[in-house]
Structure 1
Amino acid sequence: MSVIAEISIPATEFELGRIMDVSRSGTVELESLVPTGERAVPFFWVYEADFEAFEATVARDPSVSKLVQIDTYDDRVLYTFEWSVENDAVFRSVREVNAYILNATGTGDSWRFELRFPSHEAMSTFRERCRADGVGFEVIRVYNPNDPDVGPWFGLTERQREAIVLAVEKGYYDIPRNCTTVELADCLGISDQAVTERLRRAIVRLTTNTILTSAGD
């Protein structure tokens, strides 16, 4: 049976947390992590940070290449870069135990992850591997996706719920469609690409916490 864990990891305990130094004022939200062989391409929003200092810090790191600013909106910027997962104990362990990152948000002090593990044993293995690599973390909550305590939104974040509810209300899923992701992006104040990714993650999470669970997960 699968299990979802919410954990908090100090930013200095893993490589990506050290790379994405937003000081105490900024926030990072991971949108997606696309694997490309031994490397990965993370897409992430940075909010209310010193963007110039952030870019300089990331660009100096030898494990990062091709830092690209994809989109900007008011107080946030969407970035991506190429980076080696093998150098990061947390992300390497996530991959090795076949876990799935549902959400990851970081500040200058710590990152909060929501991870779905295929079993309690996989979660224990993840903890042991992190500990062996000198990574300590705090477990905030562990629950079964089918548990009533998952909440009224079936595990959706507030932003994911906002996006998918708006898409339904505006007729994005109607046939024919009554709106586009560009129109949804204008309403939400984010980019077209970010809307598409947010809807994708919302659908994955809803499916994970409803259909897959009820199918004998």
Structure 2
Amino acid sequence: MSVITEVRIPPDDFELGQILNIEEASAIELETLVPTRDTTVPLFWVYEPVGDGFLDTVERYPTVNSVTEVDVFEDRTLFRLDWDASQDHHFQCVLDHEGQILSATGTPEGWDFEMRFTGREALSQYQDCCEDAHISLDIIRIYNPADPEADSWYGLSEPQREALALAVRMGYYDIPRGCTTAELADELGISDQAVTERLRRAIGAFGRHALLTPEPEA
């Protein structure tokens, strides 16, 4: 039966983290990963206005074929990165052991990945692969998405659960809305943007845990 793990990795320990330097942004959030033969094309959000220096830094990497803007908003920009992922040891460890990257968010403190593996053995092999590649993994949690007794929070981290529960109590999902993200931010002591990101990840985690049936082991 599949398992889901949440890990934190220092940006310097894998190539994508080095490419997507976040000194000019408060956070980078992976939107999708599209494998195409030997390359992998991720779409990712960069929060805060993005200067030319960010694009110049990304394009200088020899494994990057191109980086292009897809959508531009006041507080975030969606980019498409065409690059050769074969040199990224972390990404190869995930692929080699049949893992799936469900979400990834980069901050100055590190990159948080949520990943699904076909079972505990595959997860253990992934961890060994990362150790051999000198990739530091901080395991935040491991849980079984199909067993509600194993995790009563339906895949939510404690900050995600706190934000989602507060949003429900304050009527954020009511019609009409009973509060704004700014009001939620005041209650939680974080930024408006951070509330939006946390609620989005919380709903995604909840949906995957409660609604999606994992594929059986072969």
Question: What is the TM-score when the length of structure 1 is the normalising length?
Answer: 0.72
Q: Which residue is equivalent to 2:185?
A: none
Is 1:99 the counterpart of 2:99 in the alignment? yes
Q: Structure 1 stretches of 5 or more lacking a match?
A: 170-188, 190-197
Distance in 1 between the 2:216 and 2:125 partners? 23
CA deviation vs aligned residue, 1:161-187 (integer Å, no higher than 9, x gap): x9xxx99x8xxxxxxxxxxxxxxxxxx
CA spacing shift, 1:117–1:55, aligned 2, 3 Å: same
Q: Which residue of 1 aligns with 2:14?
A: 14
Distance 1:216 1:69, change over 3 A: closer
Aligned with 1:129: secondary structure?
A: helix
Number of residues of Structure 1 aligned to a counterpart in Structure 2: 185
Q: Which residue in 1 is equivalent to 2:126?
A: 126
Counterpart of 2:51 in structure 1: which amino acid? F
Amino acid at match of 2:19: I
Distance 1:9 1:65, change over 3 A: same
Task: Tell me how far 1:56 sits from its aligned partner.
Answer: 1.2
- CA drift of 1:53 comes to 1.8
Structure 2 gap ranges (5+): 176-192, 194-199
CA RMSD of aligned residues (A): 3.4
Identity of aligned residues (%): 34
Q: Partners of 1:54 and 1:13 in 2: how far apart?
A: 20
Structure 1 position 48, deviation (Å): 1.7
Name the TM-score, length of structure 2 as normaliser. Answer: 0.72
Counterpart residue number, 1:48: 48
Output the CA distance in 2 between the equivalents of 1:216 and 1:119. Answer: 9
**Other structure's SS at 1:98 match:** coil
- Structure 1 residue 26, shift from structure 2 partner: 2.4
Question: Mapping of 1:1-217 within 5 angstroms?
Answer: 1-23=1-23, 25-48=25-48, 50-145=50-145, 146-148=147-149, 150=151, 155=156, 202=204, 206=207, 209-213=210-214
Counterpart Cα distance in 1 of 2:153 and 2:131: 34
1:138 deviates by: 0.4
